[in-house]
Amino acid sequence: MSSTRVLVLNSGSSSVKYQLLDMRGGSRLAVGLVERIGEETSRLKHTPTGGAAREWTGAIADHDAALKAVSEELARDGLGLDSPELAAIGHRVVHGGLHFTEPTVIDDAVLAEIERLVPVAPLHNPANLTGIRTASALRPDLPQVAVFDTAFHTTMPESAARYAIDVRTADEYRIRRYGFHGTSHAYVSRATAELLGKHPSEVNVIVLHLGNGASASAVEGGRCVDTSMGLTPLEGLVMGTRSGDMDPAVIFHLMRVGGMSTDEIDTLLNKKSGLVGLCGDNDMREIRRRIDEGDEQAKLAFDIYIHRLRKYIGAYYAVLGRVDAVAFTAGVGENASPVREAAVAGLEALGLAVDGELNAVRSDEPRLISPESARVAVAVVPTDEELEIATQTYALVKGSQNLT
Ligand code: ADP
């Protein structure tokens, strides 16, 4: 029997998101998530394609128990992880440093390198490692592939990737701009080229991945030349709970004058800033509702969010020189038409405009929202990181099988 299925795992510190895909056509067989792992009220939600969702709440002690529960749910739909049709497991790994520029079959050396990167991704890489170890124990015979969030950005030139700090210090501590959401930026920039009927090598795209985490990238002929996240996913745009760009001296000030500890500042900037810090809400739907009711605080939060976004569009326009398309993606980018409208309002001189009617259309399909006459295409391109991870995983596994 040919094995054409790929299980995609996205393991967080207390959650596992998963999708099972059949790579003959890239169809989804099942999706689900386990959250609040380690608590009494863990929750598993499993949805087989074409079937009803099943939910289960109870104590799931650790990732091992979580993956076993997922495996049981899949087995109930005849999609068990012991199936010979499963070709590989693809893992989202957040930080691959400079070492990993491509998806990689995981072995002990790869595990050690992901471990070595924990200091630069303390929240994410340990959880990713746990997911990999758990899945490997469950199916030791199966190729486990790591697909790195940073890989797409390794093409950035040094002029964009380096911070202007002492070179020796930077090199000693591996301080540089790595960028994140790379799987999404890769997928969306390619899909945007496709929407324009062009090869990725022919187009320059500014990708705006606006989810709870948010990042922009400048993609020149299919290669990333700049991105807004840096050493960690804290830099750049205003996000749901993260500050994005800020004078680093704010941190010294909070330590010296505010008496705050490193961990307190870390929590402040990563979890209590951004939209939630500015107005108490990080969901763009809620913020828009409050603005419609005349809430000034929500309006200011929105304006700060948009101001930063526009600065990045302008910056990446200058980085690229010629821009063929601006693509909006992820939860906010795909759904929030007022964000898209405000992001490019008044930029006609740059060839950017949004057509009000097209912008109001709701759809899951990639689509143009700029008027036909516009010099630069503005597009909404739903991201699909799981499909991208599965595609890269499958290509790697099948490619290497052909070689042997
Ligand atoms: P992440 O993967 O980073 O958690 P998503 O890409 O799923 O985030 O985006 C989640 C965010 O998308 C929500 O916090 C919310 O702000 C926004 N969002 C989702 N649906 C809508 C909608 N219909 N209108 C406006 N914003 C939305």
Q: Quick check: CB of 335 below 6 Å from ligand 1?
A: yes
pTM of the prediction?
0.93
Residue-by-residue pLDDT tens, the chain, 404 positions:
589 999 999 988 788 999 999 999 889 999 999 999 988 999 999 999 999 999 989 999 988 899 989 999 999 999 988 889 999 999 999 999 988 999 999 999 999 999 999 988 877 889 899 999 999 998 999 999 999 999 999 999 999 999 999 999 999 999 999 999 999 999 999 999 999 999 999 999 999 999 999 999 999 999 999 999 999 999 999 999 999 999 999 999 999 999 999 999 999 999 999 999 999 999 999 999 999 999 999 999 999 999 999 999 999 999 999 999 999 999 999 999 999 999 999 999 999 999 999 999 999 999 999 999 999 999 999 999 999 999 999 999 998 664 43
Nearest CA to 180 out of 215, 134, 212, 220 is that of 215
DSSP state, 265? H
**What residue's CA is closest to ligand 1, atom 20?**
331
Give distance in angstroms: CA of 182 to centre of ligand 1.
18
Q: Are 155 and 223 in contact (CB under 8 A)?
A: yes
Q: Are 352 and 326 in contact (CB under 8 A)?
A: yes
Q: Quick check: CB of 72 below 6 Å from ligand 1?
A: no
Q: Quick check: CB of 233 below 6 Å from ligand 1?
A: no
Q: Which are the catalytic amino acids?
A: 149
Give distance in angstroms: CA of 345 to centre of ligand 1.
22
Query: Which one of 19, 180, 281, 285 would you pick to mutate in the ligand 1 pocket, going by the greatest count of ligand atoms within 8 A of its CB?
Result: 285
Give distance in angstroms: CA of 106 to centre of ligand 1.
32
Nearest atom of ligand 1 to the alpha carbon of 336:
25
Cα–Cα distance for residue pair 48/44, rounded to 1 Å: 13
Q: Quick check: CB of 330 below 6 Å from ligand 1?
A: yes
Q: pLDDT tens for residues 359-403?
A: 999 999 999 999 999 999 999 999 999 999 999 999 999 986 644
Q: Quick check: CB of 285 below 6 Å from ligand 1?
A: yes
Task: Write 254-260 long-range contacts (CB < 8 A, 24+).
Answer: none
Residue 168: burial class (beta carbons within 10 Å; 0-12, 13-18, 19+): exposed
Q: Quick check: CB of 301 below 6 Å from ligand 1?
A: no
CATH numbers and ranges of domains, the chain: 5-148 (3.30.420.40), 197-385 (3.30.420.40)
User: What is the four-CA torsion angle of 275, 277, 281, 287, rounded to 10 degrees?
Assistant: -40
Give distance in angstroms: CA of 307 to centre of ligand 1.
19
Give distance in angstroms: CA of 337 to centre of ligand 1.
12
